[in-house]
Amino acid sequence: MQFQSPVLVGRVEETSALRAAVTRAEHRRGGAMFLVGEPGIGKSRLASEIAGHASGRGFRVLRGRASRAVPLRALCEAVLSAFRKADAPDEKQLGAYLPVLLRMTPDAPAGVPDPAVVRAEAVLRLLTAEKTLLVLEDLHDADGETLAVVDYLLDNLADEPVLIVATLRPHPDGAHRLADEATARRVAGTVRLSGLTDEEVAELARHCLGEPARDDVLAQLVKVSDGVPFVVEELINGDPRAVPPTVAAATLRRVDALGPECVALLEAAAIFGRTFPLDVVTAVANSTDELWQDAERAQLVHGHQFRHSLTADAITGRMTPTARATLARRAARATEALRPSELELIAELWEAGGETAKAVGCLVRAGKHAAALGRFGTAVELLERGQALTGDPDLTADLLDALALVLPLAAVVVPADDGARAFALGERLQQALTAAHAQPERRAAVRLAQARVAAVAGQWERGLDLLATAKETCASVDVVKAALLLGLNQLDLLPKARALAERAAATGTPEIVCEALEVLTRCTRGQDLAEARQHVQRWLQVAEQHGLAAWRLRALLELGITDKYLTAGVDTLLAARQAASDTGAIVILIAADLHLGATYLVRGDYEESARYGASAGEAAEKLGLHALKALAVAIEAGIAAMHGDRKATDRALARLRDHGGSEEIWAYSSAVCALMEERYDRALAEFDELEKAVTEPRILRGTFYQGPRLLVRVAHGLAGWREHERLAESHLSQVRLHRTYFAWSRAILLGREGEIAQADAAAAEALDLSTGLGLPRYLGLRLAGPSALADGWGEPLEWLREAEEHFHRSGVPAVAAACRAVLREAGAPRQRRRRDHDTVPADLRKAGVTVREYEVLRLVVDRFGNAEIAERLFLSPRTVERHVASLKARTGRQSRADLIAYARPLIGGSVPM
């Protein structure tokens, strides 16, 4: 008969502290409690006790146990335990973070790498989906990336119904430092467990035996156990009267009492440590279910783990080194057969079995796989562990090759250090290569890897210096050198960068081809957007053909960005966003949202712009992506500027400076706000300061202020054909946004010269280009109207009325009033604002339909022709034709019949009989 206390003895204060923490979490004041103590002191028992208490209070309980052999094991187990439940969280709760969580398994497929902070946020989303207690055992055995995720969680639980309970030993390691630092900043508490008092030992013995222990037995228990509960129970289950010299002796007597077959089973399990894979152990020992049941009845194991780590230590401790090594090799072979993806565990077994070469080979493969999953810190840790195992030159060379591949990726482990950690690692690699008398090719490979780090860190000259000694050229060297040359942002280096990228794209592996096509896209985007789009399409094709998931997502995003410039369309960006969401590529998702927010801003759809900008900003801030957060704030500033709200604009711009936003964004937003305030002198001053400040070659940049600046200068007589032609013949002429401004400017200049027909044609082009856009259309109408009135071209009264309606509806009173003033001076009859001026149906308002367009649409739905509509609304048939075209573009309809079918339910129109 085996004895174990059915109740928790002592620990009154500790239990009270933990229950109080559960109560706080229940009231959305989450946090963590660290249970610190020596082996056997009762950490796991106390954690189980509080788990039962929390479960009774309606908490979901997730568990995981850390292991140095398997990175992220504790968190992976917790994630898997969440998804095993009937009410597992779904995509509705977790959104794009669901695929990130599903990738947190040892056999997760490589493809889309997850930055550590994204993985941490995914775990946070899982925990906060409902009231949750997360129990993490043996945190002292956790790898660095597990500790990084836990640290992130600790800083984000203050307002959440989540409690983390973690057990660890009082060793001066990373886990202990994490607990001390978290306790110091008051995001966690620490409970330190000491031994039981003599009275508590007596109580524990009474609960185990069902009656009070005899005095002599109790005296021996107190003397030997030192108050450690596990030791008390082991002694009771052994022979306390014999007073074994060690607890191991008591444990081993219980093991030996089970018979040789069961002993062999337990030895096979113990070779793995406290936790073991049941299927592998069963294969190694050729055991049966009955033997497992015997071990469980003896209170030695429970499920797939020993009841205590000391049990495993006692079993392996009495084995001879030769026996341990032999058993470890058998376990390694069985694990390779049954669990081939658990490379770290296999490596540990081969190492224990004395098979260093096989252990290093596993660590090399494990490091590469970890890097493919975005676990760059783990990859470096695994490969450096392999270096510590061997001095064999060939094995060392293999490890260094793998490290050289991981090196540039390791630069993003701690982005704020500008690659310092990775550069330092590179120097250590070079020293190791020299000591190992490695071939020059291997040293060159490390220099190439360091050059890649330089490209990631933006240290262009340093990277080029590293490649300066490269005698042989290959696709890898070509593409890295091309990226470094492009980073220098010098026009005279552009042809060389392009030639290198083209050569790499012609000869490289699929990954190198994608990398080269990305460089080519950046090289050509400033000169020829159509050619850049061709490069992206080829890039996308290569990525899809070879299953390169991460490169495919980047290509989809780049395609959307290119189309944004070409057409101001959102369809490809939306497709990229959906793909990122489906695969859990959170950083790509944020970038897509930012580009969508900016595009909707250009289109004048401020609600959608704000929605995407806010979504991106919230996620970027949570993940600490400060550069992306700055772009989200820039969208907020742009929306305020478009409404002429100076206070809101300045507030947003002040926040933008806090996030490191560029002067270009600052000045542009302030200038646009001045335009909406009808303060043209200030707007021009802002634009002029910006023009002086921008010194980088514009052919490599996506400037966005020059179109509106030109239009304002032309409208106010400050610029002529020379300035217009310089910009119209530049790379900016490819961008729909700028082409619209250039067409308006050309119309004004032509009208000024009396070229009426040509001015009308330029205005028609501007109106066509600006269909579905916001500021490029209505600023053009506002500034072209007075010029057209003065010079006798176009339809200025109609333009000014449309502009007045837009700015009135958008809440920009200064510009609306200015339009009305020009109309009054022109003798136009005062436009009475109809009662239904602000009652355009919501769906049509959202699409940007103006009041005048709505008037036209109502008559279109009632089947009137353009000539009839023109007569009824006192417009020209040509103007009605443009309004109908604009309505089709805004609503996405291809024909007049489609437009009628779409609009009739919205406006209640009827077909005349």
pLDDT in tens, 74-91: 898 898 888 877 777 777
The more confident residue out of 685 and 194 is 685
Chain segment 759-775, per-residue pLDDT in tens: 999 999 999 999 989 99
Q: Which pLDDT score is estimated for 717?
A: 94
| Mean pLDDT (whole number) for 362-389 | 77
Q: Which pLDDT score is estimated for 81?
A: 85
Structure-token match 């007569």, residue found: 871
Q: Which pLDDT score is estimated for 499?
A: 95
Q: Which pLDDT score is estimated for 516?
A: 95
544 class by beta-carbon count within 10 Å (0-12 exposed, 13-18 middle, 19+ buried)? middle
Chain segment 237-246, per-residue pLDDT in tens: 655 444 344 5
pLDDT score of 605 more than 80: yes
Chain segment 741-750, per-residue pLDDT in tens: 999 999 999 9
Query: Residue 493 is encoded by which pair of tokens?
Result: 């280096």
Q: Which pLDDT score is estimated for 680?
A: 95
Please, what is the Cα angle at 271 between 269 and 274, to 5 degrees? 65
Tell me the one-letter amino acid at 547.
G
| Mean pLDDT (whole number) for 705-718 | 94
719-724: Cβ within 8 A, 24+ apart? 719/745, 720/749, 721/749, 724/749
Q: Phi and psi at residue 795, in whole multiples of 5°? A: -125, 70
Alpha helices by DSSP H, listed for 129-189, are 144-154, 174-184
pLDDT score of 413 more than 70: no
Model pTM?
Answer: 0.79
Q: Where residue 469 falls among pLDDT bands split at 50, 70, 90?
A: confident
Q: Which pLDDT score is estimated for 878?
A: 81
Chain segment 281-329, per-residue pLDDT in tens: 888 888 777 778 888 877 778 778 887 666 787 888 888 889 999 999 9
What is the arrangement of strands in the sheet containing 132-137, beginning at the earlier edge strand?
A: 60-65, 132-137, 162-168, 31-36, 188-192
Query: Residue 100 is encoded by which pair of tokens?
Result: 């990130």
Q: Which pLDDT score is estimated for 912?
A: 38
pLDDT score of 544 more than 70: yes
- Give the torsion through C-alpha atoms of 253, 256, 258, 261, to 10 deg: 160
- Sequence-distant (≥ 6) Cβ neighbours of residue 869 within 8 angstroms: 856, 859, 860, 875, 880
Q: Which pLDDT score is estimated for 870?
A: 83
Half-sphere exposure (CA, 13 Å, Cβ side) for 703?
Answer: 25
Secondary structure element (H or E) that encloses residue 166, with its range:
strand 162-168
Question: DSSP code of 829?
Answer: P
Query: Residue 277 is encoded by which pair of tokens?
Result: 């894979």
Closest residue by Cα to residue 345 from 357, 356, 331, 355: 331
pLDDT score of 165 more than 90: yes
The more confident residue out of 835 and 397 is 397
Q: Where residue 35 falls among pLDDT bands split at 50, 70, 90?
A: very high
* Measured distance CA(618)–CA(638) in Å, rounded: 17
Distances (CA, A) of 10 to 13, 46, 51, 191: 8, 10, 17, 14
Confirm if 570 and 557 have CB atoms less than 8 A apart. Answer: no
Chain segment 45-81, per-residue pLDDT in tens: 889 889 999 999 999 999 999 887 677 888 988 988 8
* Measured distance CA(251)–CA(266) in Å, rounded: 12
Distances (CA, A) of 399 to 360, 387, 393, 448: 8, 7, 10, 16
pLDDT score of 105 more than 50: yes
Chain segment 631-654, per-residue pLDDT in tens: 999 999 999 999 999 999 999 988
Q: Where residue 381 falls among pLDDT bands split at 50, 70, 90?
A: confident
